[in-house]
């Protein structure tokens, strides 16, 4: 169960009396304007679960090393679970005087346990603490995004299974090019999502490195056991350089990039389906419960969900750029600028999860307008390449076959007919190699059936791909 998000742009109110800045060196209370300017608890409170998980593992390690008592570690764990329950229930009090989630949890712990609570921060800094929290959050988020992407793959696969025999026009330059099976077109989106999921898995490896124990930047002189903490939190590796570990945000940029590219893929899909669902194309029937109407035009059924899918990719791209610009001027080790890493990353994850959450049911509820497709499939001379390849197979050089078929297409265009409507005499006028057996290459369905290469739109190849995707998405969720 995750911690509920705060209302957007809602910073907790400051108390009437503000304490001195953290640390005994300060003599003056922090200016209220600084509190409001520098607080992050309004958004980093969503790291509460991760902060508490990290603190529990840290306390257990401190006890194992004799830095705190075993009974203290047990009390710390129990109190932290109480704090977690209060945060989840919405009864925990937040204030900008305690600027971030880490200070909130520690202050609440100290209020309950006194010195035992104060000992929890032994051998750690907020620098390595927040780096650990963010990695734990990213790891969970990657798993959520991956599962949602797999659900969308299953939706595309389901539609491909239902439309397995349908031949549709394939396009390049938004001009009719060659006929393909609708299933082939749909499985192309499974491939793009699969690459996105591979990138998520690869990113997860670099996310899954423990920075805790690096301290502020130099490590600690205290006898800690980072391997124990690594194992307790399920990290695959331990960061080897304390100076780098506390300030590394490469993993955040990488996750933002993976999400941005996934957003681009989904935007491309949305654009294609917006076009295909227009009256001019009419290839798709979108589910009405995923469309909206017009405030003034009663007849309108607008593809607003697809348009928002297309539009929200811009946010993911912008968030990636924000993170890269944030990092580009920072020197080695932690700088407070890094507080600004969370909101773009949080927004990217929230956005892609929202997009995937509507995309899968939209795809599942969509159907092809088979009559409309069938009525238009032989327009545009989609079988021209098929005829050219038939001539090549009979011995005609490719360039010669290309020119010959181009002339035949021009002849058919003048008459306003399909290639298959030309007479043998008309074919022979432009094609010395013409014979009646070449007609087997004409027509969209026959052209699709003649495909043979691996990865092509050949019915047998597409059937194999459907079976392969069924296996992959049933055994391991895809990927």
3-class state of residue 136 by DSSP: helix
**Every domain of the chain and the residues it spans:** 32-122, 127-375, 383-442
Phi, psi for 207 (deg, rounded to 5): -65, -35
The residues, any chain, with a CB within 8 Å of residue 303's CB and separated by 6 or more, are 273, 274, 277, 286, 291
CA distance 328 to 386: 52
* pTM of structure: 0.92
d(CA 103, CA 41): 9
Output the CA–CA distances (angstroms, integers) from residue 277 to 84, 108, 162, in the order listed.
48, 56, 18
Give the whole-angstrom CA distance, residue 42 versus residue 98: 11
Cα distances (Å, whole numbers) of residue 179 to 158, 163, 393, 416: 21, 15, 20, 19
How many residues belong to the chain?
Answer: 479
Does the 127-375 domain belong in CATH 3.60.110.10?
no
The DSSP string of 12-61 is PPPPSS-PBPSSTT--SBPPHHHHHHH--HHHHGGGHHHHHHHHHHHHHH
Compute CA distances 376 → 39, 246, 278, 390, whole Å.
61, 61, 14, 24
The residues, any chain, with a CB within 8 Å of residue 411's CB and separated by 6 or more, are 422, 426, 429, 430
* CATH architecture of the domain with residue range 383-442: Orthogonal Bundle (1.10)
Rounded to 10°, the helix 70-89/101-113 angle is 120
For 153, counting Cβ atoms within 10 Å of its Cβ (0-12 exposed, 13-18 middle, 19+ buried), the class is buried
Q: In sequence order, which residues have a C-beta less than 8 Å from that of residue 473 and are 6 or more positions away?
A: 150, 153, 154, 157
- Out of 38, 104, 107, 173, which one is annotated catalytic? 173
Contact 72, 119 (CB under 8 A): yes
Q: What is the pLDDT of residue 19?
A: 52
CA dist 339 → 294, 316, 323 (Å)? 42, 19, 11
Which has the closest alpha carbon to 204: 144, 128, 123? 144
> Which residues are paired to 302 by β-bridges?
292
- Largest alpha-carbon pair distance within the chain? 102
- How big is the chain by its Cα radius of gyration, in Å? 30
For residue 173, indicate whether it is catalytic.
yes
For the domain made up of 32-122, the CATH class stated in words is mainly alpha
- Strand duo 237-238 + 209-210: pairing: parallel
DSSP state of 171: E
Q: CA 172, CA 175: separation in Å to the nearest integer?
A: 6
Q: Residue 312, SS3?
A: helix
Q: What is the pLDDT along the chain (479 residues), one digit of tens a residue?
A: 454 455 445 555 554 444 555 567 777 888 888 889 989 999 999 999 999 999 999 999 999 999 999 999 999 999 999 999 999 999 999 999 899 999 999 999 999 999 999 999 999 999 999 999 999 999 999 999 999 999 999 999 999 999 999 999 999 999 999 999 999 999 999 999 999 999 999 999 999 999 999 999 999 999 999 999 999 999 999 999 999 999 999 999 999 999 999 999 999 999 999 999 999 999 999 999 999 998 999 899 999 999 999 999 999 999 999 999 999 999 999 999 999 999 999 999 999 999 999 999 999 999 999 999 999 998 999 999 999 999 999 999 999 999 999 999 999 999 999 999 999 999 999 999 999 999 999 999 999 999 999 999 999 999 999 999 999 999 875 44
- Which of the residues 2, 294, 428, 474 is marked catalytic? 294
Look up tokens 């407070």; give the residue: 336
Q: Is 381 a catalytic residue?
A: no
Question: What does the DSSP assignment read for 413-467?
Answer: HHHT--GGGS-HHHHHHH-TT--GGGGGG-SHHHHHHT--STTSS-HHHHHHHHH
- Pairing type for strands 209-210 and 284-285 reads unpaired
Residue 126's region, left for phi above 0, alpha for psi from -120 to 50, else beta, is alpha
Helix H or strand E segment including 393:
helix 384-393
List all residues 6 or more positions away from 197 whose beta carbon is below 8 Å from its beta carbon.
Answer: 146, 149, 150, 478, 479
Strands 175-181, 167-172: pairing is antiparallel
Q: Is the distance from CB of 340 to CB of 38 less than 8 angstroms?
A: no
CB 123 within 8 A of CB 224: yes
Q: How far is 153 from 186, CA to CA, in rounded Å? A: 9
């Amino acid at each position: 169960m995750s911690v509920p998000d705060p209302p957007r742009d809602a910073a907790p109110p400051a108390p009437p009396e503000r304490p001195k800045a953290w640390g005994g060196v300060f003599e003056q209370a922090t200016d209220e304007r600084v509190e409001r300017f520098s607080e992050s608890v309004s958004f980093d409170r969503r790291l509460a679960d991760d902060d508490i998980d990290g603190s529990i593992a840290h306390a257990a390690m401190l006890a194992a090393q004799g830095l705190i008592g075993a009974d203290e570690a047990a009390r710390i764990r129990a109190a932290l679970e109480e704090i977690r329950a209060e945060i989840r229930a919405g009864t925990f009090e937040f204030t900008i005087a305690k600027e971030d989630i880490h200070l909130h949890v520690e202050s609440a712990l100290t209020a309950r346990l006194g010195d035992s609570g104060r000992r929890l921060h032994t051998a750690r800094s907020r620098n390595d603490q927040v780096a650990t929290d963010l990695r734990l959050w990213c790891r969970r988020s990657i798993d959520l995004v991956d599962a949602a992407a797999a659900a969308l793959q299953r939706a595309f696969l389901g539609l491909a299974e239902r439309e397995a025999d349908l031949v549709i026009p394939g396009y390049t330059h938004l001009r009719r090019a060659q006929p393909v099976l609708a299933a082939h077109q749909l499985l192309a989106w499974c491939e793009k999502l699969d690459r996105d999921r591979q990138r998520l898995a690869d990113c997860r490896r670099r996310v899954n490195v423990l920075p805790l124990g690096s301290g502020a930047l130099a490590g600690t002189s205290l006898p800690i056991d980072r391997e124990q903490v690594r194992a307790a939190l399920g990290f695959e590796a331990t960061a080897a350089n304390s100076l780098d570990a506390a300030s590394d945000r490469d993993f955040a940029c990488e996750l933002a990039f993976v999400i941005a590219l996934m957003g681009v893929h989904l935007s491309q899909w949305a654009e294609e389906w917006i076009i295909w669902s227009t009256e001019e194309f009419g290839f798709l029937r979108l589910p009405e419960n995923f469309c909206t109407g017009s405030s003034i035009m009663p007849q309108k059924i607008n593809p607003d969900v697809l348009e928002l899918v297309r539009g929200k990719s811009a946010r993911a791209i912008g968030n990636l750029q924000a993170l890269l610009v944030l990092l580009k001027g920072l020197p080695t080790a932690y700088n407070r600028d890094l507080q600004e890493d969370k909101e773009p990353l949080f927004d990217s994850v929230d956005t892609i999860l929202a997009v995937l959450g509507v995309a899968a049911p939209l795809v599942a509820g969509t159907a092809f307008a088979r009559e409309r497709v069938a009525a238009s499939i032989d327009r545009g001379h989609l079988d021209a390449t098929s005829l050219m390849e038939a001539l090549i197979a009979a011995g005609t050089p490719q360039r010669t076959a290309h020119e010959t078929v181009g002339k035949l297409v021009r002849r058919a265009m003048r008459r306003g007919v399909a290639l298959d409507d030309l007479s043998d005499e008309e074919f022979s006028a432009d094609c010395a190699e013409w014979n009646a057996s070449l007609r087997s290459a004409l027509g969209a369905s026959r052209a699709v059936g003649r495909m043979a290469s691996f990865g092509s739109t050949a019915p047998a190849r597409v059937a194999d791909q459907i079976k392969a995707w069924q296996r992959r998405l049933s055994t391991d969720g895809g990927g």
